[in-house]
Structure 1
Amino acid sequence: MNGSTNSALDYGVDDAHHLFCEDENFEERNEAHIRGCVCPEDVERVVEECKIDTVWKNLDNDGVLKLNFSMRDKNGEIRRKQLQLTLIDKSRKTFLMTRIDVNNIYVEQENAKKRLLEALNAAEQASKVKTDFLARMSHDIRTPMNAVICLANLGQTYPDIDETHDCLKKIEASGQYLLAIINDVLNLSKMESQTIIFHPTVVRLQDFIRETLAIVMPSANEKALRVDVKQIGITSKYVKLDTTYTRQVAVNLLSNAIKFTPHGGLVQIIFENISREGKFVRGKMIVKDNGVGISREFLPRVFAPFEQENAQDDAGRQGTGLGLSIVKNIVEQMGGTVSVESEKGKGTAFTV
């Protein structure tokens, strides 16, 4: 392309077909070609950037200008192209114009941008979730801590032993809740660093069930909930498991069900055989409720740490949002799986 004469001559595999002739106006012929094949969203930009004065102004220090755009090829496919203009004679403003297909590179770059954007969004979401968690936890700690301080002060002023005893019971309950929050945070930290050591032992299944229910029944009774236990296909009285961590899984799931089931509702814990392997039977535990349920949008995040659906609207339902994440960590480190099925307004079922 000769900028001083506004003309160009092209060379290609097909010598019989030329886009430019030396006696034609380059800018007019080039604009017609651009409008005929370049995609609409790039047309005006490419027309402007291919004008001789614009090219001359935008050259880099090496005398090169590169333009990227999309165009439809002879097969009708949209491809990404790069036009490179290289200055070869400054006095005559003469340029070598080359066009290459950069579609594969462009697709890779766009995919990389998409992955980076997704990673950035995920990081921002994780940061927001942790910030929300810290705000909730600060509130959850402050409320019982204020109760501890106030009740301790009141207890010192009561002459009646019964009133003092009532204050002490409430102080103990608040202290237990504070301890539960701290334990949740510490447990998650330990599990994420994969420092759990399991100690499976043979125990009576009925004993395990009885001792587990003893932990959660006070909360269930406060809401007049019915808690049913079912055994399907269970023929052995004994099971082999790590009592401490398996109970923590069961208690977390039951506590979650109790928390989100309205007054007078139903919570079920079901033990079921699913296969026999030699002397051992592989089983599953299901915790079901007919509570508020989980929305379809939130289900993929239900096991994520710090996450709680409608956390801002459920101030009455205290918790750290770590219980289900702890369940998932324990179960997976045991070599098992945990899944969830739920429908908003109808209830939830967790299967371990």
Structure 2
Amino acid sequence: METAKVIVEIIFSLALFINALLFIPQMITIIKKKSAEGVSLLTFLGFLVIQFSVILHGIINQDYMLAIGYFLSFLTCGLVVFLLILYQKNNIQRSLKLNVVLEKILEQLPAHIYWKDKQGILLGCNTKNWKDFGVKSLSEYLGKTDYDWLPFDQANKIRQVDQEVIVTGKSKILEEIRNTIDGKNRIYLSHKAPLKKDDGSIMGILGVSFDITKIRKAEMERFEMLENIIALMPGHVYWVNREGYYLGCNDNQAKSAGLYSRKEIIGKRNKDLPWNFSVEMLPETLDKINEQVMDTVKSIAVEEPAILQDGTEAIFLSNKVPLCNKEYKVIGMVGISINITERKENEKELMLAKEQAELASKLKDEFILNMEHDIRTPLSAINMVAAQLSKNEIDLNKNKKLINIVVCSKEIMDYCYRTIEYLKIKFSSVPMIEKKFNLRDLVKRVINIEKPAYDSKKLDFNLEIKNNIPEFLVGDDFRLERILINLLNNAVKFTHNGFVKLTVQHIKELDNRNIAIQFIVEDSGIGIPEDKLNIIYEEFARMPPSSQALYKGQGLGLTVVRKLTEEMEGEIDVKSMVGKGTKFICTYPFKKSISE
């Protein structure tokens, strides 16, 4: 019995000790969280009273083991109560501070914040809200409704929205118009949500409203500017929805369509526009083009016929693009059309003028060929007959007249030949033909043509062809020959004594196949005045003038040389001094013969 009693007492002592330790985890939790939230102070005070009663009971009954055990529990429970009292006091202080901060924040918020009950009675708001409505204090504002501050129609609309939020239990964002203390309408962006109790039941609404009047005004100004830009844009600007109904246009489109205002076009189709009332297929044609743009999602440029309000036919060049939303889904079409009727008429006139010019060119070519045949052929016959008669005529007087006929007919033939040659070159009747030719043979032919002229004037003629000149070249030998003939003819004509010299030299390799050859025609003739150098290539320019009858010719030789040089993509330069002579320097590109 004694042993069992000892064991029971030991177990009882351990139980009392464990009971004291049970309060320690709660202390640690409170200390870590620094908060007494979720812990009942009243419960622990009850524990504390019970433990104190047990301690007194133990002392009275001299059960010191019981008294000591519960004293330990009393200490740990007392520490818990102390922490609860400490942190609840701190929580109250923090709550008070937080309330003060929230009040300061509410006072400084630029928006209107307010909350009302189900009847629309104001329960609270921030400072800006009641000040903007001209109220002197919050107390004066509370307990009132919107009907007490706003015009009936404004208050009624606000009340309807509040009721919708309360009934549906869903938030709503919208724009509202309210009068403020200055008597002006202000636009507010309002976000209203149901105000709920702890049990989730709706007790009213909570609202936040921002004054967006300035933003809306700026947007309206930009919108009006955009509207004015569209209205005044040149050409015809318009846009339609997916079903082909017009959503808008500029002033030109409205005017041409026979409308008084561009707003009238909204909701109309092509067949509904006054300018299409008198036609049958035109609206259908326009609709098909618009549908093509929207169906293919591709922009197009197309010429479209139109009948204007005054009944005149017109042609428009239209650029049309599909109109898409943010999801790139086609919702319509935008078009810009320019009236090109005048341009099309000009094109017709230009085409007619081109045809007439081509006809005139053909007639000109025929005239040149006829002139070459009809004039040169009889002149050649006259020249040949006169030359034959002069050989057999023994009468000196008649012989002299026949020789004059021979000389004059020859001059006329030469004149016609040079004129025809000039006309052919001027009007590009001679095609560019590149072929292989022997340069030295070409130069000899040219010299032989001019030999009688410089022999008769007893001039020294010098020819110098550099050794590095290829024997064969590929190029337009006809043009090169005509250039050298004209230059040498002028050199001989304007040189009375001294020399005429032709130099041919290699300038440089342009690439593996192309080379530059330079031809220099130099004489010791009368020279060209410096102030005349800029006109020597003009048509019919002569130095001295033909009226002085010193030199024969039409003044076309150098004009032909310049024209042929340009066609050969060459260069020509001249250096001259009066009384000393003239030097023409011509440079042309040729190809080396690959079969030389």
- Normalising by structure 2, we get a TM-score of 0.31
Identity, in percent, stands at 23
Match of 2:487 in 1: 253
CA contact under 8 A between 2:461 and 2:499: conserved in structure 1?
yes
Separation (CA, whole Å) in 1 of partners of 2:565 and 2:403: 35
Question: Greater relative contact order (Cα 8 A, min sep 6): structure 1 or 2?
Answer: 1
**Does residue 179 of the first structure (1) align with residue 179 of the second (2)?**
no
Whether the 8 Å CA contact 1:305–1:321 is kept in 2: the answer is: yes
Residue 281 of structure 1: aligned partner: 515
Cα 1:313–1:280 change in 2 (3 A) is same
Q: 1:221 aligns with which of 435, 455, 461?
A: 455
Q: Distance in 1 between matches of 2:491 and 2:391?
A: 40
How far apart in 2 are the matches of 1:335 and 1:191? 15
- CA 1:326–1:311: 2 relative to 1, 3 Å: same
Q: Does 1:301 align with 2:520?
A: no
Q: 1:255 to 1:157 in 2, by over 3 A?
A: closer
- Residue deviations 1:183-221 (CA, integer Å, cap 9, x gap): 222222232323330222222222111111010010000
* Residue correspondence of structure 1 range 112-123 to structure 2 within 5 A: none
Q: Which residue of 1 aligns with 2:444?
A: 210
Q: Alpha-carbon deviation of 1:319?
A: 0.6
Partner of 1:192: 426
The one of 437, 443, 465 equivalent to 1:231 is 465
User: Structure 1 161/334 Cα, relative in aligned 2: closer, same or farther at 3 Å?
Assistant: farther
Task: Give per-residue Cα distances to partners, 1:254-309, cap 9 Å, x unaligned.
Answer: 0100011113x110111111111213321111100011100011100010010112
Deviation at 1:165, TM superposition (A): 8.6
Supply the distance in 2 between the matched residues of 1:230 and 1:266 (Cα, whole angstroms). Answer: 13
What residue number does 1:266 align with?
499
Report deviation, 1:238.
1.4
- The equivalences for 1:111-150 within 5 A come to none
Q: What secondary structure, in the 3-state scheme, does the structure 1 residue paired with 2:531 have? A: coil
For 1:202 and 1:153, locate their aligned partners in 2 and report how far apart those are by CA, in whole Å: 39
In 2, the alpha carbon distance for the partners of 1:238 and 1:153 equals 40
Partner residue, 2:9: none
In 2: Cα distance, 1:254 partner to 1:347 partner: 13
- Tell me, in whole angstroms, the C-alpha distance in 2 between the residues paired with 1:342 and 1:195: 33
Determine if contact 1:289/1:349 at 8 Å carries over to the other structure. yes
1:82-103 Cα deviation digits (max 9, x unpaired): xxxxxxxxxxxxxxxxxxxxxx
Alpha carbons of structure 1 residues 251 and 169: separation in structure 2 relative to 1, 3 Å: farther
* Distance in 1 separating the partners of 2:574 and 2:539: 16
Distance 1:223 1:299 in 2: 26
Go from structure 1 to structure 2 and tell me whether the alpha carbon gap of 1:347 and 1:158 turns closer, same or farther (over 3 Å shift): same
| Larger CA deviation: 278-287 vs 209-218 | 278-287
Please give the residue correspondences for 1:73-92 in structure 2 after superposition, counting only pairs within 5 Å: none
Where 2:450 maps in the other structure, the secondary structure is helix
Q: Give the Cα separation in 2 of the matches to 1:247 and 1:293.
A: 23
Q: Larger Rg: 1 or 2?
A: 2
Counterpart-to-counterpart distance in 2, 1:272 and 1:168: 46
Tell me the number of residue pairs that the alignment of Structure 1 and Structure 2 aligns: 205
CA distance in 1, matches of 2:455, 2:573: 27
State the 1:233 CA deviation.
5.4
Q: What letter is aligned with 1:272?
A: Q
- The AA in structure 2 aligned to 1:331 is T
Q: Distance in 1 between matches of 2:391 and 2:489?
A: 36
Aligned equivalents of 1:226 and 1:333: distance in 2?
32
Deviations 1:12-47 (Å, cap 9, x if unpaired)?
xxxxxxxxxxxxxxxxxxxxxxxxxxxxxxxxxxxx
TM-score (norm 1): 0.52
Moved segments of 4+, more than 4 Å: 151-159, 161-173
Determine the structure 1 residue equivalent to 2:572: 338
Aligned partners of 1:330, 1:235: CA distance in 2, in Å?
A: 22
User: 2:391, 2:439 → 1: CA distance?
Assistant: 48
Paired with 1:339 and 1:314, the residues of 2 have a C-alpha distance of: 27
The change in CA–CA distance for 1:348 and 1:154 in structure 2 (over 3 A counts) is same
Q: Partners in 2 of 1:156 and 1:284 — Cα distance?
A: 45
Q: Which has the higher helix share?
A: 2
What displacement does 1:235 show?
3.7
Distance 1:260 1:156 in 2: 30
Alpha carbons of structure 1 residues 153 and 202: separation in structure 2 relative to 1, 3 Å: closer
1:302-321 equivalence runs, <5 A: 302-312=536-546, 314-321=548-555
Where 1:301 maps in the other structure, the secondary structure is coil
| Distance in 1 separating the partners of 2:446 and 2:387 | 35
User: Is the Cα–Cα contact under 8 Å of residues 386 and 403 in structure 2 kept in the other structure?
Assistant: no
Cα shift at 1:339:
1.7
- Residue 571 of structure 2: SS of its match in structure 1? coil
Backbone CA RMSD of aligned residues: 3.3
Return the offset for 1:324: 0.5
